[in-house]
Homo-oligomer: A and B are copies of this chain.
Amino acid sequence: MLDELERDKPHEECAVFGIFGHKDAVPLTILGLHALQHRGQEACGIISSNGNHFQMKKAIGLVGDNFNKPAIIDQLAGYCAIGHNRYSTTGASDYKNIQPLYADFDFGGAAIAHNGNLVNGLQLRGDLVDNGRIFSSTTDTEVILQLIAMVKGHITDRLKYALSRVKGAFALLCMTKDCLIGVRDSLGIRPLMLGKFNGKYVLSSESVGFDIIGAKFERMVEPGEMVVITESGLQSIQITPKRRARTCLFEYVYFARPDGIIDGINIYQARKQMGRQLAMESRVSADVVVPIPDSGTPSALGFAEESGIGFDLGIIRNHYVGRTFIEPTAAIRHLGVKLKHNANRSVLRNKRVVLVDDSLVRGTTASKIVKMVRDIGAKEVHFRLASPQVLFPDFYGIDMPTKQELLANNYSMKEMIDFLGVDSLEFLSLDGLYRALGEKDGRDKQNPQFTDHYFSGDYPISVVGHDAPKDELSYMQVVA
Protein backbone atom coordinates (compact mmCIF):
# COMPACT_ATOMS: atom_id res chain seq x y z
CA MET A 1 0.00 0.00 0.00
CA LEU A 2 2.65 2.39 1.07
CA ASP A 3 4.95 1.07 -1.61
CA GLU A 4 2.43 2.11 -4.18
CA LEU A 5 2.32 5.56 -2.68
CA GLU A 6 6.04 5.95 -2.59
CA ARG A 7 6.62 4.50 -5.98
CA ASP A 8 4.16 6.79 -7.59
CA LYS A 9 6.93 9.36 -7.47
CA PRO A 10 10.20 8.95 -9.35
CA HIS A 11 13.01 8.03 -7.01
CA GLU A 12 16.60 8.97 -6.95
CA GLU A 13 18.55 5.88 -6.06
CA CYS A 14 21.22 7.32 -3.79
CA ALA A 15 23.08 9.92 -1.85
CA VAL A 16 26.78 9.98 -1.08
CA PHE A 17 28.75 11.73 1.63
CA GLY A 18 32.43 11.62 2.53
CA ILE A 19 34.97 13.37 4.70
CA PHE A 20 38.74 13.13 4.89
CA GLY A 21 41.08 13.64 7.80
CA HIS A 22 38.76 14.53 10.67
CA LYS A 23 38.71 12.68 13.99
CA ASP A 24 34.91 12.83 13.99
CA ALA A 25 34.68 11.53 10.42
CA VAL A 26 32.16 8.83 11.35
CA PRO A 27 29.62 10.88 13.35
CA LEU A 28 29.90 13.63 10.75
CA THR A 29 29.15 11.14 7.99
CA ILE A 30 26.19 9.81 9.97
CA LEU A 31 24.82 13.34 10.25
CA GLY A 32 25.50 14.05 6.58
CA LEU A 33 23.65 10.91 5.51
CA HIS A 34 20.80 11.81 7.82
CA ALA A 35 20.44 15.17 6.09
CA LEU A 36 20.43 13.34 2.74
CA GLN A 37 17.94 10.70 3.86
CA HIS A 38 15.28 11.97 1.41
CA ARG A 39 17.37 10.57 -1.49
CA GLY A 40 17.05 6.97 -0.28
CA GLN A 41 15.45 5.33 2.73
CA GLU A 42 15.79 1.63 2.07
CA ALA A 43 19.36 1.05 3.19
CA CYS A 44 22.47 2.86 4.31
CA GLY A 45 26.12 2.08 4.83
CA ILE A 46 29.37 3.62 5.99
CA ILE A 47 32.96 2.54 5.47
CA SER A 48 35.62 4.24 7.54
CA SER A 49 39.37 3.99 7.66
CA ASN A 50 42.19 4.80 9.99
CA GLY A 51 45.10 4.57 7.63
CA ASN A 52 45.51 0.92 6.82
CA HIS A 53 42.40 -0.81 8.00
CA PHE A 54 38.78 -0.31 7.12
CA GLN A 55 35.53 -0.86 9.01
CA MET A 56 32.15 -1.29 7.39
CA LYS A 57 28.58 -1.24 8.61
CA LYS A 58 25.56 -1.67 6.37
CA ALA A 59 21.94 -1.79 7.32
CA ILE A 60 18.44 -1.98 5.94
CA GLY A 61 16.49 1.13 6.99
CA LEU A 62 17.14 4.70 8.06
CA VAL A 63 20.45 6.19 9.16
CA GLY A 64 18.90 7.46 12.39
CA ASP A 65 17.63 4.01 13.30
CA ASN A 66 20.84 2.14 12.52
CA PHE A 67 23.74 4.46 13.34
CA ASN A 68 22.43 5.80 16.62
CA LYS A 69 24.57 4.00 19.20
CA PRO A 70 27.87 5.27 20.57
CA ALA A 71 29.21 1.71 20.32
CA ILE A 72 28.74 1.74 16.55
CA ILE A 73 30.57 5.04 16.25
CA ASP A 74 33.36 3.60 18.35
CA GLN A 75 33.66 0.47 16.25
CA LEU A 76 33.71 2.41 13.01
CA ALA A 77 36.18 4.95 14.34
CA GLY A 78 38.31 6.45 11.59
CA TYR A 79 39.55 9.76 10.33
CA CYS A 80 38.17 9.17 6.88
CA ALA A 81 34.71 7.88 5.96
CA ILE A 82 32.29 7.58 3.08
CA GLY A 83 28.61 6.77 3.31
CA HIS A 84 25.66 6.02 1.12
CA ASN A 85 21.86 6.11 1.27
CA ARG A 86 19.99 3.83 -1.05
CA TYR A 87 16.49 3.59 -2.38
CA SER A 88 15.63 0.14 -3.59
CA THR A 89 12.61 -1.75 -4.70
CA THR A 90 13.44 -5.25 -3.57
CA GLY A 91 13.75 -5.25 0.18
CA ALA A 92 15.88 -7.22 2.60
CA SER A 93 17.09 -9.66 0.00
CA ASP A 94 19.11 -6.88 -1.48
CA TYR A 95 21.50 -6.74 1.43
CA LYS A 96 24.39 -7.60 -0.86
CA ASN A 97 23.76 -4.44 -2.89
CA ILE A 98 24.01 -1.94 -0.05
CA GLN A 99 26.82 0.52 -0.67
CA PRO A 100 29.61 1.46 -0.15
CA LEU A 101 31.27 -1.60 -1.70
CA TYR A 102 34.75 -2.64 -0.70
CA ALA A 103 37.58 -4.67 -2.21
CA ASP A 104 41.14 -5.55 -1.28
CA PHE A 105 43.73 -4.70 -3.90
CA ASP A 106 47.48 -5.11 -4.11
CA PHE A 107 47.85 -1.53 -2.83
CA GLY A 108 45.42 -2.09 0.05
CA GLY A 109 41.69 -1.63 0.34
CA ALA A 110 39.33 0.67 -1.50
CA ALA A 111 35.70 1.57 -0.88
CA ILE A 112 33.33 3.01 -3.46
CA ALA A 113 29.91 4.61 -3.19
CA HIS A 114 28.03 6.04 -6.08
CA ASN A 115 24.79 7.72 -7.05
CA GLY A 116 23.68 7.24 -10.62
CA ASN A 117 23.48 4.61 -13.28
CA LEU A 118 25.72 3.29 -16.04
CA VAL A 119 24.02 2.78 -19.38
CA ASN A 120 26.65 0.26 -20.41
CA GLY A 121 26.85 -1.38 -16.95
CA LEU A 122 25.13 -4.53 -18.07
CA GLN A 123 27.34 -4.86 -21.13
CA LEU A 124 30.51 -4.32 -19.10
CA ARG A 125 29.36 -6.80 -16.50
CA GLY A 126 28.71 -9.36 -19.23
CA ASP A 127 32.19 -8.82 -20.65
CA LEU A 128 33.77 -9.11 -17.22
CA VAL A 129 31.86 -12.30 -16.40
CA ASP A 130 32.91 -13.73 -19.75
CA ASN A 131 36.46 -12.96 -18.72
CA GLY A 132 36.15 -14.89 -15.50
CA ARG A 133 35.20 -12.16 -13.06
CA ILE A 134 32.90 -13.11 -10.21
CA PHE A 135 30.41 -10.53 -8.98
CA SER A 136 29.12 -10.44 -5.44
CA SER A 137 26.46 -7.78 -6.01
CA THR A 138 24.29 -6.69 -8.92
CA THR A 139 25.28 -3.02 -8.69
CA ASP A 140 27.01 -0.83 -11.24
CA THR A 141 29.33 0.10 -8.43
CA GLU A 142 30.90 -3.33 -8.54
CA VAL A 143 31.49 -2.98 -12.26
CA ILE A 144 33.64 0.05 -11.47
CA LEU A 145 35.41 -1.87 -8.69
CA GLN A 146 36.18 -4.75 -11.09
CA LEU A 147 37.54 -2.31 -13.68
CA ILE A 148 39.77 -0.73 -11.04
CA ALA A 149 41.14 -4.20 -10.32
CA MET A 150 42.03 -4.78 -13.97
CA VAL A 151 44.84 -2.28 -14.24
CA LYS A 152 47.89 -1.43 -12.16
CA GLY A 153 49.11 1.87 -10.84
CA HIS A 154 47.85 4.57 -8.53
CA ILE A 155 44.19 4.60 -7.64
CA THR A 156 43.66 7.83 -9.60
CA ASP A 157 44.98 6.18 -12.76
CA ARG A 158 42.95 3.04 -12.14
CA LEU A 159 39.83 5.08 -11.55
CA LYS A 160 40.49 7.13 -14.69
CA TYR A 161 40.75 3.89 -16.65
CA ALA A 162 37.58 2.50 -15.11
CA LEU A 163 35.61 5.66 -15.78
CA SER A 164 36.89 5.79 -19.37
CA ARG A 165 35.14 2.46 -19.89
CA VAL A 166 31.80 3.38 -18.37
CA LYS A 167 29.04 5.54 -19.82
CA GLY A 168 26.36 7.07 -17.67
CA ALA A 169 25.51 9.50 -14.94
CA PHE A 170 27.20 9.38 -11.58
CA ALA A 171 28.46 11.13 -8.53
CA LEU A 172 31.12 8.81 -7.19
CA LEU A 173 33.21 8.63 -4.04
CA CYS A 174 36.26 6.42 -3.63
CA MET A 175 38.28 6.06 -0.44
CA THR A 176 41.66 4.37 -0.03
CA LYS A 177 43.99 4.31 2.93
CA ASP A 178 45.42 7.69 2.00
CA CYS A 179 42.95 9.53 -0.14
CA LEU A 180 39.32 10.43 -0.73
CA ILE A 181 38.30 10.92 -4.34
CA GLY A 182 35.13 12.46 -5.74
CA VAL A 183 34.14 12.31 -9.40
CA ARG A 184 31.15 13.72 -11.27
CA ASP A 185 30.10 12.39 -14.67
CA SER A 186 31.18 14.26 -17.81
CA LEU A 187 27.82 16.04 -18.20
CA GLY A 188 27.32 16.67 -14.50
CA ILE A 189 23.93 14.97 -14.55
CA ARG A 190 24.10 13.94 -10.90
CA PRO A 191 25.17 16.58 -8.38
CA LEU A 192 28.27 16.40 -6.20
CA MET A 193 29.69 19.23 -4.18
CA LEU A 194 32.70 20.15 -2.11
CA GLY A 195 32.63 21.69 1.33
CA LYS A 196 34.97 22.42 4.20
CA PHE A 197 34.54 21.62 7.88
CA ASN A 198 37.19 22.81 10.31
CA GLY A 199 39.67 22.98 7.45
CA LYS A 200 38.90 19.46 6.22
CA TYR A 201 37.30 18.64 2.87
CA VAL A 202 33.81 17.18 2.72
CA LEU A 203 31.94 15.80 -0.29
CA SER A 204 28.17 15.58 -0.46
CA SER A 205 25.36 14.99 -2.96
CA GLU A 206 23.58 18.10 -1.69
CA SER A 207 24.45 21.18 0.31
CA VAL A 208 22.15 20.14 3.18
CA GLY A 209 24.82 17.57 4.00
CA PHE A 210 27.09 20.51 4.79
CA ASP A 211 24.45 22.55 6.61
CA ILE A 212 23.74 19.90 9.23
CA ILE A 213 27.35 19.76 10.38
CA GLY A 214 28.04 23.43 9.89
CA ALA A 215 30.42 22.85 7.00
CA LYS A 216 30.95 25.60 4.45
CA PHE A 217 29.92 25.02 0.84
CA GLU A 218 32.98 25.56 -1.34
CA ARG A 219 31.91 24.74 -4.87
CA MET A 220 30.33 22.15 -7.13
CA VAL A 221 32.52 19.34 -8.35
CA GLU A 222 32.58 20.14 -12.08
CA PRO A 223 31.39 17.81 -14.85
CA GLY A 224 34.20 15.39 -15.64
CA GLU A 225 36.24 16.58 -12.67
CA MET A 226 38.01 14.25 -10.26
CA VAL A 227 38.94 15.83 -6.94
CA VAL A 228 41.63 13.95 -5.03
CA ILE A 229 41.85 14.81 -1.36
CA THR A 230 44.94 13.75 0.56
CA GLU A 231 46.86 14.94 3.56
CA SER A 232 48.60 17.46 1.33
CA GLY A 233 45.36 18.99 0.18
CA LEU A 234 43.10 18.89 -2.84
CA GLN A 235 44.12 18.14 -6.39
CA SER A 236 41.71 18.63 -9.28
CA ILE A 237 42.01 16.41 -12.36
CA GLN A 238 39.77 17.08 -15.32
CA ILE A 239 39.20 13.63 -16.83
CA THR A 240 36.79 14.72 -19.58
CA PRO A 241 36.59 18.11 -21.32
CA LYS A 242 35.44 21.05 -19.24
CA ARG A 243 31.86 22.10 -19.79
CA ARG A 244 28.94 23.68 -18.03
CA ALA A 245 26.91 21.18 -15.99
CA ARG A 246 23.82 19.75 -17.59
CA THR A 247 22.16 18.77 -14.34
CA CYS A 248 19.16 16.46 -14.21
CA LEU A 249 16.00 18.61 -14.18
CA PHE A 250 14.30 16.33 -11.69
CA GLU A 251 16.81 17.41 -9.06
CA TYR A 252 15.19 20.86 -9.21
CA VAL A 253 11.65 19.59 -9.69
CA TYR A 254 11.51 16.93 -6.98
CA PHE A 255 14.61 15.19 -5.66
CA ALA A 256 16.70 17.79 -3.91
CA ARG A 257 15.75 19.15 -0.53
CA PRO A 258 14.26 22.67 -0.92
CA ASP A 259 16.79 24.22 1.45
CA GLY A 260 19.70 23.52 -0.88
CA ILE A 261 21.53 24.90 -3.90
CA ILE A 262 22.68 22.90 -6.93
CA ASP A 263 24.92 24.37 -9.59
CA GLY A 264 24.09 27.84 -8.36
CA ILE A 265 20.34 27.45 -8.40
CA ASN A 266 18.41 27.75 -5.15
CA ILE A 267 15.96 24.86 -5.06
CA TYR A 268 13.23 26.48 -2.99
CA GLN A 269 13.14 29.69 -5.03
CA ALA A 270 13.26 27.69 -8.26
CA ARG A 271 10.25 25.65 -7.19
CA LYS A 272 8.30 28.73 -6.15
CA GLN A 273 9.17 30.21 -9.54
CA MET A 274 7.92 27.05 -11.27
CA GLY A 275 4.65 27.59 -9.42
CA ARG A 276 4.52 31.22 -10.50
CA GLN A 277 5.29 30.29 -14.10
CA LEU A 278 2.62 27.59 -13.93
CA ALA A 279 0.09 30.15 -12.70
CA MET A 280 1.02 32.45 -15.56
CA GLU A 281 0.62 29.64 -18.09
CA SER A 282 -2.63 28.22 -16.78
CA ARG A 283 -4.89 30.78 -15.19
CA VAL A 284 -7.87 29.42 -13.34
CA SER A 285 -10.71 30.89 -11.37
CA ALA A 286 -10.71 29.25 -7.95
CA ASP A 287 -11.03 29.77 -4.19
CA VAL A 288 -7.97 28.13 -2.77
CA VAL A 289 -4.54 26.80 -3.78
CA VAL A 290 -3.75 23.52 -2.01
CA PRO A 291 -0.41 21.71 -2.24
CA ILE A 292 -0.01 17.94 -2.17
CA PRO A 293 2.48 17.90 0.69
CA ASP A 294 5.37 17.97 1.04
CA SER A 295 6.71 17.99 -2.54
CA GLY A 296 4.03 20.30 -3.96
CA THR A 297 4.26 22.96 -1.27
CA PRO A 298 6.85 25.42 -2.67
CA SER A 299 5.31 25.50 -6.16
CA ALA A 300 1.84 25.88 -4.64
CA LEU A 301 3.12 28.89 -2.69
CA GLY A 302 4.47 30.37 -5.93
CA PHE A 303 1.24 29.59 -7.73
CA ALA A 304 -0.77 31.28 -4.99
CA GLU A 305 1.41 34.37 -5.00
CA GLU A 306 1.23 34.75 -8.77
CA SER A 307 -2.45 33.93 -9.10
CA GLY A 308 -3.57 35.90 -6.08
CA ILE A 309 -5.64 32.94 -4.92
CA GLY A 310 -5.24 32.12 -1.24
CA PHE A 311 -2.90 29.33 -0.15
CA ASP A 312 -4.13 26.82 2.42
CA LEU A 313 -3.21 23.40 3.79
CA GLY A 314 -6.10 21.37 2.44
CA ILE A 315 -4.27 18.07 2.72
CA ILE A 316 -2.51 17.05 5.92
CA ARG A 317 0.33 14.57 5.79
CA ASN A 318 1.01 11.96 8.49
CA HIS A 319 4.77 11.71 8.78
CA TYR A 320 4.77 8.67 11.04
CA VAL A 321 4.90 6.25 8.15
CA GLY A 322 7.62 3.65 8.27
CA ARG A 323 8.88 1.70 5.33
CA THR A 324 6.28 -1.00 5.54
CA PHE A 325 2.78 -1.17 6.86
CA ILE A 326 0.05 -3.68 7.22
CA GLU A 327 -1.41 -5.37 4.23
CA PRO A 328 -4.98 -4.64 5.18
CA THR A 329 -7.70 -7.16 4.58
CA ALA A 330 -9.77 -6.81 1.44
CA ALA A 331 -12.44 -4.88 3.32
CA ILE A 332 -10.09 -2.01 4.05
CA ARG A 333 -7.56 -2.13 1.25
CA HIS A 334 -8.89 1.03 -0.41
CA LEU A 335 -7.96 3.03 2.69
CA GLY A 336 -4.29 2.92 1.77
CA VAL A 337 -3.81 6.47 0.59
CA LYS A 338 -4.98 7.75 3.96
CA LEU A 339 -1.98 6.26 5.72
CA LYS A 340 -0.14 9.32 4.53
CA HIS A 341 -2.67 11.97 3.56
CA ASN A 342 -5.92 13.25 4.98
CA ALA A 343 -8.26 15.85 3.53
CA ASN A 344 -8.77 18.97 5.65
CA ARG A 345 -12.52 19.47 5.39
CA SER A 346 -12.72 23.10 6.51
CA VAL A 347 -10.34 24.17 3.74
CA LEU A 348 -11.88 22.14 0.92
CA ARG A 349 -15.61 21.94 1.54
CA ASN A 350 -17.63 23.79 -1.10
CA LYS A 351 -14.45 25.26 -2.52
CA ARG A 352 -13.05 25.47 -6.03
CA VAL A 353 -9.65 23.95 -5.34
CA VAL A 354 -6.39 24.29 -7.27
CA LEU A 355 -4.40 21.21 -6.35
CA VAL A 356 -0.67 21.67 -6.99
CA ASP A 357 2.00 18.98 -7.16
CA ASP A 358 5.52 18.97 -8.50
CA SER A 359 5.07 16.23 -11.12
CA LEU A 360 2.82 13.46 -12.34
CA VAL A 361 4.25 10.06 -13.16
CA ARG A 362 1.85 7.15 -12.77
CA GLY A 363 -1.11 9.09 -11.52
CA THR A 364 -2.52 6.39 -9.25
CA THR A 365 -1.94 8.22 -5.98
CA ALA A 366 -3.00 11.53 -7.51
CA SER A 367 -6.32 10.03 -8.58
CA LYS A 368 -6.92 8.77 -5.02
CA ILE A 369 -6.08 12.15 -3.53
CA VAL A 370 -8.42 13.87 -5.98
CA LYS A 371 -11.17 11.45 -4.97
CA MET A 372 -10.50 12.16 -1.28
CA VAL A 373 -10.68 15.90 -1.97
CA ARG A 374 -13.94 15.52 -3.85
CA ASP A 375 -15.46 13.19 -1.22
CA ILE A 376 -14.83 15.77 1.50
CA GLY A 377 -16.91 18.26 -0.49
CA ALA A 378 -14.72 20.24 -2.89
CA LYS A 379 -16.86 21.84 -5.58
CA GLU A 380 -14.19 21.85 -8.30
CA VAL A 381 -10.71 20.37 -8.52
CA HIS A 382 -8.16 21.94 -10.85
CA PHE A 383 -4.95 19.97 -10.96
CA ARG A 384 -1.73 21.83 -11.74
CA LEU A 385 1.66 20.21 -12.16
CA ALA A 386 4.81 22.30 -11.79
CA SER A 387 6.64 20.29 -14.47
CA PRO A 388 5.87 19.03 -18.00
CA GLN A 389 4.30 15.70 -18.87
CA VAL A 390 6.67 12.78 -18.22
CA LEU A 391 6.76 10.97 -21.52
CA PHE A 392 10.03 9.08 -21.62
CA PRO A 393 11.82 6.70 -19.25
CA ASP A 394 15.11 7.44 -17.54
CA PHE A 395 18.35 5.43 -17.66
CA TYR A 396 20.63 7.65 -15.60
CA GLY A 397 19.77 6.65 -12.08
CA ILE A 398 16.17 7.65 -11.46
CA ASP A 399 13.90 4.84 -10.34
CA MET A 400 10.98 5.73 -12.62
CA PRO A 401 8.19 3.58 -14.03
CA THR A 402 8.56 1.98 -17.43
CA LYS A 403 7.19 3.81 -20.46
CA GLN A 404 4.05 1.71 -20.26
CA GLU A 405 3.33 2.96 -16.78
CA LEU A 406 3.84 6.67 -17.48
CA LEU A 407 0.37 8.18 -17.46
CA ALA A 408 1.14 10.95 -19.93
CA ASN A 409 2.71 8.51 -22.35
CA ASN A 410 -0.45 6.46 -22.62
CA TYR A 411 -3.28 8.92 -22.12
CA SER A 412 -4.39 12.04 -23.95
CA MET A 413 -5.05 15.15 -21.88
CA LYS A 414 -8.74 14.38 -22.09
CA GLU A 415 -8.18 10.81 -20.90
CA MET A 416 -5.95 11.98 -18.06
CA ILE A 417 -8.63 14.42 -16.92
CA ASP A 418 -11.11 11.55 -16.83
CA PHE A 419 -8.71 9.17 -15.15
CA LEU A 420 -7.83 11.66 -12.45
CA GLY A 421 -11.39 12.89 -12.07
CA VAL A 422 -10.44 16.57 -12.20
CA ASP A 423 -12.19 19.56 -13.69
CA SER A 424 -9.05 20.78 -15.40
CA LEU A 425 -5.45 19.67 -15.72
CA GLU A 426 -2.41 21.69 -16.73
CA PHE A 427 1.32 21.00 -16.85
CA LEU A 428 4.10 23.56 -16.78
CA SER A 429 5.60 23.86 -20.26
CA LEU A 430 9.20 22.75 -20.76
CA ASP A 431 10.12 26.27 -21.82
CA GLY A 432 8.35 27.54 -18.73
CA LEU A 433 10.37 25.18 -16.56
CA TYR A 434 13.61 26.43 -18.13
CA ARG A 435 12.47 29.99 -17.55
CA ALA A 436 11.76 29.24 -13.91
CA LEU A 437 15.35 28.02 -13.71
CA GLY A 438 16.73 31.26 -15.15
CA GLU A 439 16.87 30.51 -18.86
CA LYS A 440 14.99 33.55 -20.05
CA ASP A 441 14.49 32.28 -23.57
CA GLY A 442 13.28 28.90 -22.45
CA ARG A 443 14.94 25.73 -23.62
CA ASP A 444 17.78 26.08 -26.12
CA LYS A 445 16.98 23.21 -28.46
CA GLN A 446 20.53 23.02 -29.80
CA ASN A 447 22.23 23.16 -26.51
CA PRO A 448 19.81 22.62 -23.67
CA GLN A 449 21.07 23.66 -20.27
CA PHE A 450 19.67 20.66 -18.39
CA THR A 451 19.19 16.94 -18.76
CA ASP A 452 15.51 16.63 -19.58
CA HIS A 453 14.91 13.47 -21.63
CA TYR A 454 11.88 12.33 -19.55
CA PHE A 455 10.11 15.46 -20.81
CA SER A 456 11.80 15.94 -24.20
CA GLY A 457 13.03 12.54 -25.35
CA ASP A 458 16.47 14.14 -25.81
CA TYR A 459 18.88 11.60 -24.26
CA PRO A 460 22.31 13.16 -23.70
CA ILE A 461 23.98 9.74 -23.44
CA SER A 462 22.86 7.07 -25.85
CA VAL A 463 21.65 3.90 -24.21
CA VAL A 464 23.50 0.75 -25.22
CA GLY A 465 21.14 -2.07 -26.14
CA HIS A 466 18.32 -2.89 -23.80
CA ASP A 467 19.09 -2.34 -20.16
CA ALA A 468 17.81 -5.52 -18.53
CA PRO A 469 16.19 -5.30 -15.11
CA LYS A 470 18.95 -5.62 -12.58
CA ASP A 471 17.19 -8.26 -10.57
CA GLU A 472 17.71 -10.62 -13.47
CA LEU A 473 21.45 -10.24 -13.18
CA SER A 474 21.70 -12.95 -10.56
CA TYR A 475 20.08 -16.33 -10.24
CA MET A 476 20.36 -16.14 -6.49
CA GLN A 477 18.11 -14.77 -3.79
CA VAL A 478 19.17 -14.30 -0.16
CA VAL A 479 16.58 -15.46 2.37
CA ALA A 480 16.44 -13.14 5.38
Contacts and interface: CB of A to CB of B under 8 A. Distances in A.
Interface of A: 23-24, 27-28, 30-31, 34-35, 37-38, 41, 47, 52-57, 62-65, 67-70, 72-73, 75-76, 102-106, 108-109, 129-130, 132-136, 142, 145-146, 149-151, 177, 208, 211-214, 257-259, 261, 266, 268-269, 294, 297-298, 301, 305, 310-313, 316, 318-322, 324-329, 331-332, 335, 338-339, 342-347, 473-480
B259 A316 contact: yes
Nearest to A304: B311
A305 to B, nearest CB: 7
A392 to B, nearest CB: 31
B318 A297 contact: no
A373 B55 CA distance: 37
Contacts of A64: 320-322, 324-325, 339
Counted per complex, copies of this chain come to: 4
B335 A213 contact: yes
Contacts of A76: 479
26 contacts: A31-B326, A38-B320, A47-B476, A53-B475, A54-B477, A56-B476, A56-B477, A57-B478, A64-B324, A65-B322, A67-B326, A72-B479, A75-B479, A104-B135, A109-B474, A109-B475, A132-B133, A133-B133, A134-B134, A134-B145, A212-B335, A212-B339, A266-B345, A268-B347, A301-B313, A311-B311
Nearest to A27: B328
Given A313-B268, A342-B35, A322 B68 contact: yes
A332 B479 contact: no
Given A53-B476, A149-B133, A268 B311 contact: no
A65 B60 CA distance: 14
Given A70-B327, A335-B213, A477-B56, A257 B310 contact: no
Contacts of A338: 31, 35, 211-214
B320 A298 contact: no
Contacts of A63: 320
Contacts of A318: 34-35, 37-38
B105 A129 contact: yes
A208 B52 CA distance: 45
Contact of A133 (B134, B177, B322, B332): B134
A136 B211 CA distance: 36
A134 B103 contact: yes
